Amino acid sequence: MISKKMPNLYFRDLKVEVPIIQGGMGVGISMSKLASAVANAGGVGVISAAEIGFVKDNFAKNPKEANKIVLTEEIKKAKQLAPNGVIGVNIMVAMTEFIDLIKTSIEAKADILFCGAGLPLTVPIDEIKESGIKIGVIVSSAKAATLIFKYWDRHYGVIPDGVVVEGPKAGGHLGFKYEQIENPNYSLEKIFPPVVKAVKIYEEQYNKKIPVIAAGGIYTGEDIYKFINEFGASGVQMATRFVTTHECDADIKFKEAYINCKKEDITIIKSPVGLPGRAIKNEFLEDVEEGKKQPFKCIWQCLKGCKYTKAPYCITQALISAQKGIFKSGFAFAGSNAYRVDKIVSVQELMDELIEGYEQAAE
C-alpha cells in the first residue's frame, strides 16, 4: 500500500523529515535566512556558496578571503537558527575555489554538500571521509552519474550519498545543450529513470541506499507525489518556489520580478560561462542581445570556463545586482514555472501547502 504521508529522506544516517531540498541559489538568493527556515520546516535548507563574499566591503579587493569568511558565518548562523535542522551548501564544480569551499564547509560543520555545474571528480576525499559530511551530486544524465560513481569507486573506494537529477525546466545554468532544452526526450520524466538504474548498480555493490532526487519544474505537492510514487524518487529539490518567500535572502524587487513575470518573459540566455541559463527577460538582457554591452575588466576569474575577455558582461556582477534589486545592471535567474507564482508566503506556509497537496494526491 502506498503511504499517504511524505516519506522521510535519508542520506546514510542523516534523516530529513520532509523530503524537500531547497535548491541552492546564487548569488546570495539562498543564504542562512532561507536555508534555516527550510531546515526548521523539516526540509534541507541549502546555502549557495557562489561568490557569497559579495556582502563584505573587501570583496572586490580579496574575493577569495571574503567568500571563505562569509560562507563560514552563514553556515554557523543557519545552524544556530535551525539547531535540529539539516543545512547543506551548494558548491559549483565550475567555481575556481571548488575544493577550498568544500573544505570551508566541512570546517564550519555543514551537514551535506551538493556539487553540480560540472562533474565532481577531484574532491578533497580525506577531509570528506574524516568529517563524515554527506555528498550529493547534481547531474542531468545517467551518463554523468555513471562517470562520477565509477570515478569515486575506482579512486576513492566510496560513492556519493545522494544524486539530484536536474531536468531542463530548472532555473539558473542548465546542464543541457540549447537544442535539448525543449526536446521531450530530455524531459525530467525521461532522464530520471535511467539515473535510478545507473545508481542501482552501485547501491548493490556497496550495499548502501542512494537517494535519487528529482529537480527542475517541480511546483506542487501533486508533482512531488508523482516523482516519489511513480518514478521512485526519494525526494525532490525545488528552488523557484522558495524565491517568493518572506525568508528568501534576495531583495523584494527580485521576488516581485517573479510575481510580475509572464510565461513569455521566461527565456533561455547564453551565459558568459558558455552554458545556457534560464532567466527572466528584461532591458539588461535585451541590451546584451543587441550587442550594446562591452567586455569588462574581471576582478578575478571566479568561474573556470568564463571567457571574460569576450563576455559582454560579468555574470557574477549581474547576479549580485539582481540580488540587490538593481535590474538596470542585472537580471534574475528563474525556473520555467516562475510565472505561476502570485504571492509571497512564509516558508512554513509553502511547505504546508506542498505537504497538503501531496496528501490530497495520495487520496
Ligand X SMILES: Cc1cc2nc3c(=O)[nH]c(=O)nc-3n(C[C@H](O)[C@H](O)[C@H](O)COP(=O)(O)O)c2cc1C
Residues that bind ligand X (CB under 6 A): 23-26, 29, 48, 50, 90, 92, 116-117, 138, 166, 169-172, 215-218, 237-240, 333-335, 337
Q: 247: how many CB neighbours lie within 10 A of its CB?
A: 24
Give me the least distance between CB of 131 and ligand X, in Å please: 21
Distance CA 162, CA 11 (A): 6
Q: How far is the CB of 359 from ligand X (least distance, A)?
A: 20
Q: In the bound complex, what is the minimum distance in angstroms from residue 10's beta carbon to ligand X?
A: 20
For the bound state, the minimum distance from the C-beta of residue 335 to ligand X, rounded and expressed in Å, comes to 3
Q: How far is the CB of 133 from ligand X (least distance, A)?
A: 17
Residue with cell 564547509: 105
How many Cα neighbours within 13 Å face the side chain of 57? 0
Residue 199 or 218 having the CB closest to ligand X? 218
Residue 185 C-beta: closest distance to ligand X, Å: 19
CB 176 within 8 A of CB 140: yes
Is 85 or 88 the residue whose CB approaches ligand X more closely? 88
* Minimum separation from the CB atom of position 294 to ligand X (A): 26
Residues 321 and 257: beta-carbon distance below 8 Å: no
Q: Quick one: 51 or 85, whose CB is closer to ligand X?
A: 51
Cis amide linkage into residue 196, ω under 30° from 0: no
CA–CA separation, 29 and 96 (whole Å): 20
Burial of 186 (0-12, 13-18, 19+ CB in 10 A): middle
Q: How far is the CB of 238 from ligand X (least distance, A)?
A: 4
Q: Which is nearer to ligand X, 295 or 317 (CB)?
A: 317
Nearer to ligand X, 146 or 244 (CB): 244
Dihedral angle of Cα 302, 306, 312, 313, to the nearest 10 degrees: -20
For ligand X, the closer CB: 108 or 238: 238
Name which of 181 and 206 has its Cβ closer to ligand X. 181
Q: Do strands 172-173 and 276-280 pair parallel, antiparallel, or not at all (unpaired)?
A: antiparallel
CB atoms within 10 A of CB 325: 16
* CB contact at 8 A, 247 and 33: yes
Compare residues 24 and 211 and give the one whose CB is closer to ligand X: 24
Instruction: Tell the smallest beta-carbon distance from residue 48 to ligand X (Å).
Output: 4
Q: Nearest to residue 165, comparing CAs of 136, 146, 192, 199?
A: 192
Q: Any residues with CB less than 8 A from the CB of 83 and at least 6 apart, and which?
A: none
Shorter beta-carbon distance to ligand X: residue 188 or 210: 188
For residue 267, the surrounding DSSP H or E stretch is strand 266-270
